[in-house]
Structure 1
Amino acid sequence: MKTTIFQRLSIFFKYALMLLMLGLGITIIGYFALNIYELVFVLIKFNGYIEFTDMTKTILSSFLCFEFLIIIKEYFDDSSAIQFENYLYIAVTALVRTILVYHSDFMKTLILSISIFILMIAIILYKRFAGSKR
């Protein structure tokens, strides 16, 4: 009797998580489309001056959305399994975005650069040791 209750709860949470991931995916697609629209709008209405910081924010936000969409696709393709490597890529992209957009403080930029270096080492180690087990 208890096993059927736990099995039902497990199935309920599985489908609830799938619905939440689907909702998150649709939201990110909307945000991604908004970023693409902003980029196209700026290129069409080009008047000789483009703010580098704004363009960088939009482009890197688009990359982050794209990476999140890849993770959500992987979630549905691989039966609810997401590889750790993808999280490392998202962290590197987010840190690069932060450095490119907010680079006025030297110490903050240095710390973020060291963080990116550590994450790149983690990616290399993950590919070398855990990647061979996949």
Structure 2
Amino acid sequence: MKKFFDHIDEKMVKFLSRISFLSLMVVGLVIVFFLFREIYSMITMAFQADSSTHYYEVLQSILSFFIFFEFLTLIITSIRNKGHVSLIFLLSLGITSLIRVLLTYHDQLIGLIAISSSILLLIIGVVVLKRFIFTEDKNEEHL
């Protein structure tokens, strides 16, 4: 009886792994679509006559492009490593995302301090992980 349940367990894990892989592929394709849509938007904004008034729109479009690009990189890394993504890679994504938010956020000083503090905490986390947790790991893929 135990063999039967082990067999069902193995089949279920394979099935769910395939569903997860296919879902990542679909999400990746959707992100590629949005990535090209942002490229098209940036190109049309670049050829508009009065580009000085569209500064924040162009900046927002560029930042959106890089967000889609990072999510695509995350999906590619996840597919390559069979669903596993490095913690340092995820922290690095968080740092770059918060830096992008910091570039466009100009409303309140408290918000700027909170975002800056969050960036500092994530950087400290990356340093601690590299120095004390992953000391013997020389894999440059995390970075």
Scaled by the length of structure 2, the TM-score of the pair is 0.84
- Of structures 1 and 2, the larger Rg is shown by 2
TM-aligned CA deviation for residue 46 of structure 1: 4.1
Residues 55-89 of structure 1: per-residue CA shift (max 9 Å, x gap)? 22211111111111111111222222211122112
* Unpaired stretches in structure 1, ≥5 consecutive residues: none
% same residue: 23
Q: Equivalent residue of 2:136, what SS?
A: helix
Q: Distance in 1 between matches of 2:21 and 2:99?
A: 30
Q: Partner of 2:136 in structure 1?
A: 132
Say if 2:58 is the partner of 1:55. yes
Q: 2-side partners of 1:46 and 1:132: how far apart? A: 55
Identify unmatched segments of 5+ residues in structure 2: none
After the TM superposition, which segments of 4 or more aligned residues of structure 1 sit over 6 Å from their partners? none
Query: Residues 92-119 of structure 1, C-alpha deviation per residue, up to 9 Å, x if partnerless?
Result: 2221222222221110111001101111
Aligned CA RMSD, in angstroms, stands at 1.7
- 2:67: which partner in 1? 64
Candidates 92, 96, 99, aligned match of 2:95: 92
Q: 2:102 is matched by which residue type in structure 1? A: I
Aligned residue for 1:90, secondary structure, equals: helix
Kindly state the Cα deviation for residue 45 of structure 1 after the two structures are TM-superposed: 2.0
Partners of 2:98 and 2:115 within 8 A in 1: yes
**Aligned match of 2:120 in 105, 117, 120?**
117
Q: 1:74 is matched with which residue: 66, 72, 77?
A: 77
Give the superposition deviation at 1:51: 2.8
Deviations 1:6-50 (A, max 9, x none): 011101110010011011101111111111111111112242424
Higher helix share: 1
